[in-house]
Structure 1
Amino acid sequence: MAVTKAILEKWMVAQKRHRLSDKQVQMARELGLNPDKLGKIDNHKQEPWKAPLPQFIEEIYFKRFKREEPETVKPLKQVMAEMEIRKKRQKAEKEERRKQRVLSSDSAE
C-alpha cells in the first residue's frame, strides 16, 4: 500500500496529540495501527488498568517483531521529504520519456 501525504499528515497530528516520539510513531505504523483510533487506546487516565499509549505501542511491537525498536528510525518529516524527491524524479523521468517519444516519432516521418 502506498503511503500518501495525507496519511503522513494524520500521523504527524497523532504524534503531537498523543506525545509520541518518532520511534513510537514508526512502531505504530509498522504495526498497522490507525492514527485516528489512537485516542481509544490512550485513555489510561480514565481507565487506570490500561498502559499509557507509548508503553502499549512498545509492548505490542516487541510481541510482534521480537525486538525492542525498529532497525532504522526515520522522522515523518524525512519520510515526506524523500517522498517529494521521489515524486519529482519520477515526473522528470516521465517528461524525458515523452520527449524521447516525440523525437522518435518525428524522425520516423
Structure 2
Amino acid sequence: MPAKKNGQAWEEAKKRCRLNNIEIQMAKELGMTPKVLIRNIPAPNQQWKAPVKVWIRELYEEKFDKDLTETPILLKKLANSVKKKETPIFSDSWIDEEDLPF
C-alpha cells in the first residue's frame, strides 16, 4: 500500500511542478521527495526563485558535474545545412538604400 501512495505523490509532484520523467528521476537521484518539490514551487511574489524544473537541473549539474544544456535549435539547423551543403540560413546579400520602401 505505501508504494502505491508514494507513486501517487510523485505523480502529483510531476503534474504540479510541470516535470517530465527525466526530471523526476534526477530529483530521486538527488534524494528529494515529492513534498520537497511541491514546497519549492515559486509563489507569484517570489520572482527571484527559479521554477522547480530549472532548480532540479542546476542542482543535478552541480552535484554530478554533468552539463545538461542542449545546443540551441538554430545552431542545430545551421549545422545540418552545412552537412547537407545547402545554402546557409544567414544570407550575405546586402540591401541597397534605393531598394528600401521609404
TM-score by length of 2: 0.57
- Between Structure 1 and Structure 2, the one with more helix by share is 1
> Which residue is equivalent to 1:42?
41
The question of whether the paired residues in 2 share the 8 Å contact of 1:58 and 1:68 is answered with no
> Which residue is equivalent to 2:60?
61
- Change over 3 Å in CA distance of 1:44–1:63 after alignment to 2: farther
> Which residue is equivalent to 2:13?
14
Structure 2 gap ranges (5+): 69-102
Moved segments of 4+, more than 3 Å: none
Matched residues, number: 67
TM-score by length of 1: 0.54
Q: What is the aligned-residue RMSD (CA, Å)?
A: 1.9
The 10-residue stretch of structure 1 (25-34 or 40-49) with the greater mean CA deviation from structure 2: 40-49
Structure 1 gap ranges (5+): 70-109
Question: C-alpha deviations, 1:39-93, integer Å up to 9, x for none?
Answer: 3211153211111110000000011111245xxxxxxxxxxxxxxxxxxxxxxxx
> Which residue is equivalent to 1:28?
27
SS of the residue corresponding to residue 22 of structure 2 reads helix
Instruction: Supply the distance in 1 between the matched residues of 2:40 and 2:22 (Cα, whole angstroms).
Output: 18
Larger Cα-atom Rg: 2
Instruction: Supply the distance in 2 between the matched residues of 1:18 and 1:40 (Cα, whole angstroms).
Output: 10
% identity of equivalent residues? 34
- Change over 3 Å in CA distance of 1:62–1:44 after alignment to 2: farther
Residue 7 of structure 1, CA deviation: 1.8
